[in-house]
């Protein structure tokens, strides 16, 4: 099928367009006096892949290479869903590849296939991971049915979709995981030891959300102590003894076995 590109004004093959950027409209010619329809036909048009990338690149430069702002403007122009959680999961590639991944994701995930721009920004939906888990469950059912019918073409198709869905879920889950970070810094005169020295601790996820931030002022330099644990530990029944050395002094750590786990006594001799 041929599709008319509204940008370059050429008729091109359907494969040269992204599916979400093609629309079929009804054109009509009416008789001026009676307003009766004298002619009606369908026209399929949109913006081809090449023109879309050129337009996106131009807007990207106007927005000082801010990908999220550029994508949001594009979604608003073409009435596509703008899903914040999908924007940052492919940030390890250039902006054109990120655009292609985003278009692929909103096409493959059924919760976004018919969603409009206003629907995406105007109301809170279920989490993306919840939707993906539903898709994964359905894909697994489709694979089982294909195996029963010995339909290997369908089996390969659903397997590819399942692989894409699992990969996307892993990336989304990685974005929601909280990791611990720390920073050692100085304020003012760095030469005065302990006067302007601070340590900051916080948790941060893949979306750059921060929680539990704590700042500690370093009052004095903390000495480094080397602790050596011996591998020659001793187990006598449910009691464990581990020899260790701190500097020139020798100590022992004792632990008791409780419900299959070694629990230390909280002191050493």
pLDDT: which is higher, 103 or 221: 103
Residue ranges of domains in the chain: 2-122, 128-176, 179-217, 227-268
pLDDT value at residue 118 = 87
pLDDT value at residue 224 = 52
Q: Say if residue 267's pLDDT is above 90.
A: no
Q: Say if residue 231's pLDDT is above 70.
A: no
Q: Say if residue 14's pLDDT is above 70.
A: yes
Least confident of 18-22, 26-30, 140-144, 228-232: 228-232
pLDDT in tens, 68-96: 999 999 999 899 999 988 887 888 889 99
pLDDT value at residue 57 = 94
pLDDT in tens, 168-221: 888 888 777 778 888 877 766 655 554 677 787 878 877 677 777 777 777 665
Q: Say if residue 24's pLDDT is above 70.
A: yes
Residue 241: closest CA among 230, 225, 227: 230
With tokens 């089996």, the residue in question is: 155
pLDDT value at residue 54 = 93
Query: Would you call 218 helix, strand, or coil by DSSP?
Result: coil
Q: Are 72 and 87 in contact (CB under 8 A)?
A: no
- Residues 10-14 have a mean pLDDT of 91
Q: Any residues with CB less than 8 A from the CB of 209 and at least 6 apart, and which?
A: none
Supply 215's token pair.
């700042």
pLDDT value at residue 41 = 67
Q: Say if residue 67's pLDDT is above 90.
A: yes
How much is the mean pLDDT over the chain?
Answer: 80
pLDDT value at residue 202 = 79
pLDDT band at 15 (very low <50, low <70, confident <90, very high): very high
pLDDT value at residue 51 = 95
CA distance 74 to 58: 11
- Residues 22-47 have a mean pLDDT of 75
CA distance 147 to 157: 12
Q: Any residues with CB less than 8 A from the CB of 162 and at least 6 apart, and which?
A: 136, 139, 140, 143
Q: Are 8 and 21 in contact (CB under 8 A)?
A: no
pLDDT in tens, 143-172: 999 999 999 999 999 999 999 989 888 888
pLDDT value at residue 170 = 85
């Amino acid at each position: 099928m041929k599709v008319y590109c509204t940008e370059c004004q050429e008729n091109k093959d359907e494969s040269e367009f992204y599916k979400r950027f093609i629309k079929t409209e009804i054109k009509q010619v009416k008789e001026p006096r009676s307003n009766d329809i004298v002619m009606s036909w369908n026209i399929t048009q949109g913006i081809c892949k090449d023109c879309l990338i050129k337009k996106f690149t131009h807007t990207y430069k106007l927005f000082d290479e801010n990908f999220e702002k550029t994508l949001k403007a594009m979604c608003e122009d073409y009435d596509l869903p703008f899903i914040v959680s999908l924007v940052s999961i492919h940030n390890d590639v250039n902006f054109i590849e990120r655009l292609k991944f985003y278009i692929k994701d909103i096409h493959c995930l059924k919760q976004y296939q018919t969603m409009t721009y206003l629907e995406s920004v105007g109301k809170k939906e279920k989490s993306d991971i919840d939707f993906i888990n539903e898709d994964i469950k359905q894909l697994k059912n489709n694979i089982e049915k294909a195996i029963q019918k010995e339909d290997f073409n369908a089996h390969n198709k659903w397997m590819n979709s399942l692989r894409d869905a699992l990969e996307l879920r892993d990336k989304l889950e990685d974005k929601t995981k909280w990791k611990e970070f720390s920073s050692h810094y100085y304020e003012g005169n760095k030469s005065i030891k302990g006067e302007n020295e601070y340590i900051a601790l916080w948790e941060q996820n893949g979306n750059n959300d921060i929680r539990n931030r704590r700042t500690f002022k370093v009052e004095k330099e903390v000495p480094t102590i080397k602790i050596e644990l011996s591998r020659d530990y001793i187990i006598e029944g449910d009691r464990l003894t581990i020899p260790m050395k701190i500097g020139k002094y020798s100590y022992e750590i004792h632990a008791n076995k409780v419900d299959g786990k070694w629990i230390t006594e909280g002191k050493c001799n």
